[in-house]
């Protein structure tokens, strides 16, 4: 028995697959690919498949991962990759299969790209208002928690914000807290901005990678 980490992209229409449906889709693909999964023992055996950090609905994932235990070591990582891609829809693509190096519990940050496309007005005006919004001493928003809604200041959580204009869109790259301990969804930042601006815009969210507390890549 060994554990492998499956790296995949979730793009296009697959962005709108819920995490529960993604789990089902992956489990079905593993079954169709005839990958020898390891099953738990006991009255109700089940396959060991876990995801590092579920992606929010509607968000593109460029470097997502899931771990699974397989029941033999004869099958190669290259064969797992080939078989899964044959069984998966086009907007879910496996690009690597590796040995896990870090536990998902070590995840502390994620990198994102926010692509805002104005419905009315110009990108230049949108950028001006976005930069003014980010320059505030505090950015207050509400965040859902297990104990209910919390009012928090997310300004200290924003790292390495880089802003540019590209193909008629306002593009912002940033790093935000992520993981089981504390998580800031980029939509909290965008929706807080939306409440303070007269601009109408559509925002696309892309998650590029995950990192530990020392900003090492989650591998």
| CATH code for the domain in which residue 173 is found | 3.30.70.3190
Residue with tokens 């303070």: 196
pLDDT of amino acid 36 = 87
Residue 159: inside a domain, yes or no? Answer: yes
CATH of residue 42: 3.30.70.580
Domain boundary among 68, 83, 100: 100
Q: Do 114 and 58 fall into the same domain? A: no
Residue 139: inside a domain, yes or no? Answer: yes
Q: Do 116 and 198 fall into the same domain? A: yes
pLDDT of amino acid 120 = 87
Boundaries of domain holding 135: 105-211
pLDDT of amino acid 24 = 92
Task: From first to last of the 219 residues of the chain, give the pLDDT tens digit.
Answer: 889 999 999 999 999 999 999 999 999 999 999 998 877 776 776 778 899 999 999 999 999 999 999 887 788 999 999 999 999 999 999 999 999 999 999 999 999 999 999 998 899 999 999 999 999 999 999 888 777 788 999 999 999 999 999 999 999 999 999 988 899 999 999 999 999 887 889 999 999 999 999 999 999
Q: What span, in angstroms and rounded, lies between the C-alpha atoms of 99 and 198?
A: 49
Residue 219: inside a domain, yes or no? Answer: no
pLDDT of amino acid 42 = 67
Q: What span, in angstroms and rounded, lies between the C-alpha atoms of 65 and 3?
A: 13
Q: Do 7 and 77 fall into the same domain? A: yes
Q: Do 148 and 204 fall into the same domain? A: yes
Helix (H) or strand (E) segment spanning residue 11: none
Q: Is residue 176 a contact partner of residue 143, using CB atoms and an 8 Å limit? A: no
Residue 218: inside a domain, yes or no? Answer: no
């Amino acid at each position: 028995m060994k554990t492998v980490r499956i790296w995949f992209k979730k793009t296009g229409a697959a962005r709108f697959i819920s995490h529960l449906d993604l789990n089902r889709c992956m489990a079905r693909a593993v079954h169709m690919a005839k990958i020898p999964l390891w099953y738990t023992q006991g009255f109700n055996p089940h396959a060991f498949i876990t995801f590092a950090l579920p992606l929010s609905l509607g968000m593109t994932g460029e470097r997502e991962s899931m771990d699974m235990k397989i029941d033999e070591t004869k099958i190669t990582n290259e064969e797992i990759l080939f078989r899964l891609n044959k069984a998966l829809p086009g907007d879910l693509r496996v690009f690597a299969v590796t040995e896990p190096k870090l536990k998902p519990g070590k995840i502390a940050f994620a990198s994102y790209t926010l692509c805002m496309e104005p419905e009315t007005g110009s990108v230049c005006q949108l950028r001006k208002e976005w930069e003014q919004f980010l320059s505030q001493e505090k950015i207050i928003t509400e965040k859902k928690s297990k104990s209910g809604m919390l009012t928090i200041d997310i300004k200290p959580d924003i790292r390495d914000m880089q802003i540019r204009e590209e193909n008629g869109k306002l593009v912002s790259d940033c790093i935000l807290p992520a993981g089981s301990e504390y998580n800031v969804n980029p939509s909290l930042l965008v929706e807080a901005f939306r409440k303070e601006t007269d601009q109408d815009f559509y925002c696309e969210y892309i998650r590029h990678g995950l990192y530990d507390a020392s900003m090492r890549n989650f591998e």
